[in-house]
Structure 1
């Protein structure tokens, strides 16, 4: 019988590429991960890994098993959701991930809504960049997360993760009538590696130039404060632009940011996740979008 916990490690190895990366993700030692994968090979009865020095690659049989592992783990998520529904109303811990703007604007009223409707739930929030959400969901560090997608940035695809669209909001440029008009300005963007940073760079490239980035700041309130101080121009979403500082002009652009709820595939019918998404939607209906 194949152990689902070992299948999870094999799937993570297929995605992350090294045993060290898998160990870091699941808070095991590399030695423990290696031992578990070796035990999985014995259970499977065929070689799953090719070891060359310090590198490890999946064999053809390993790739086949990863495909089946995803189906097995998805079915286990469905079973867990069904059992939770059978126990009654949602209760217990609910680990929520969210990007900074959502943490500040959307989550406080959503958590109040959730507490009123389901007092047995204990939400625990972690601020996280959407680029890191898939790994955190797969590792079980989060149950549900708010993520976003931008124009110019293709969505990250992960077959083990499902998403449910929540809302779309326009993007604004500070103090210039168009992105092209900001060609010679200093720019304020989010930190490299974030979706927000990639979106800003590609928006400028689509306008025919590489931006001169002076500041890297993730919090949009701080970005707007820097803009008010004459430190550069920036792209900001509607949720971050509802109360700009005095003197900051905002131009609506034909660009958008879309927010989605993300969760492990097969787990969308879990009552706690359904309750969270319902609370998100109630809050969103009251936002100035």
Structure 2
């Protein structure tokens, strides 16, 4: 059904005269008559019946005019929602890793709550490979992901990535071993991420520079659990410098800045015209 014809029918139900409808919509009486006749053909039932010299809505016409209220309201809401110049309103779905959620997204949400209260942000914690998959399936609108300078991400052609920040990583060891260098850890068991390959790729590059192949034994997602394994002497692994690790764990600084974790905000190409997504991306970029 043509929404313009629905609007004509709705105005006729309110005003009762095709002439008045034509004046209200800035058109001619003939156009209104033809539009409602075409609408009747679309739905397959008469919408008007004679009423002396005038016409009135049939029972079907009245029912359709009631539906038109909701239909036209939904169309207007959709147009407003998609208007790049409109106030951002809507639900924004974000998938991201914990550090970026804490460091970038939560402060952005606090600011947007004051400036754009119509945006509702729903947060899902995922590793980058999982976030990319969710973006591809349109199950989230924004992904907060990371790579390392030693293991750069391969971006899809339909993705747009905005750099957010970077952080230096070193090797977490028991505090008693804080005087050691990377080569001294060649015979240790190593811990890598269970849900992403980037840190293992970075580790293998670092190890190759130091002349050894790391023996990967444990695959752990949570940094807190990695801390526990290191403190217990069960292995060593990459950890962010400057982070407060559990007692008994130190993070060695590596030569040439070690491995730099780089955080990005990733969206599907062309989606930044949607006002809620554009507002969040602008806030993240300035954070």
Q: TM-score of the superposition, structure 2-length normalised?
A: 0.63
Report if the CA contact (8 A) 1:137-1:144 is conserved.
Answer: yes
Aligned equivalent of 1:262:
266
Q: Based on CA coordinates, which of the two structures has the bigger radius of gyration?
A: 2
Deviation at 1:92, TM superposition (A): 0.8
Two-structure CA RMSD over aligned residues (Å): 2.5
Distance 1:144 1:223, change over 3 A: same
Report SS of the residue matched to 2:203. Answer: helix
Report SS of the residue matched to 1:268. Answer: helix
Deviation at 1:198, TM superposition (A): 2.7
Is residue 2:183 matched to residue 1:180?
yes
Deviation at 1:82, TM superposition (A): 9.4
Aligned equivalent of 2:100:
102
Where structure 2 has 5 or more consecutive residues not aligned to the other structure, the ranges are 1-78
Q: TM-score of the superposition, structure 1-length normalised?
A: 0.62
Aligned equivalent of 2:247:
246
Aligned equivalent of 2:84:
85
Deviation at 1:90, TM superposition (A): 1.3
Q: Deviations over 1:67-119 (max 9, x none)?
A: xxxxxxxxxxxxx9993323x12111101110133234543333323323221
Distance 2:151 2:171 in 1: 17
Aligned equivalent of 1:50:
none
Q: Deviations over 1:227-275 (max 9, x none)?
A: 122221111124xx52111221222232201111100111234322232
Aligned structure 1 segments of 4 or more residues deviating by more than 6 angstroms: none
Distance 1:214 1:138, change over 3 A: closer
* Aligned pairs, number: 201
Aligned equivalent of 1:77:
none
Aligned equivalent of 2:150:
152
Is residue 2:275 matched to residue 1:271?
yes
Distance 1:260 1:149 in 2: 8
Distance 1:219 1:101, change over 3 A: farther
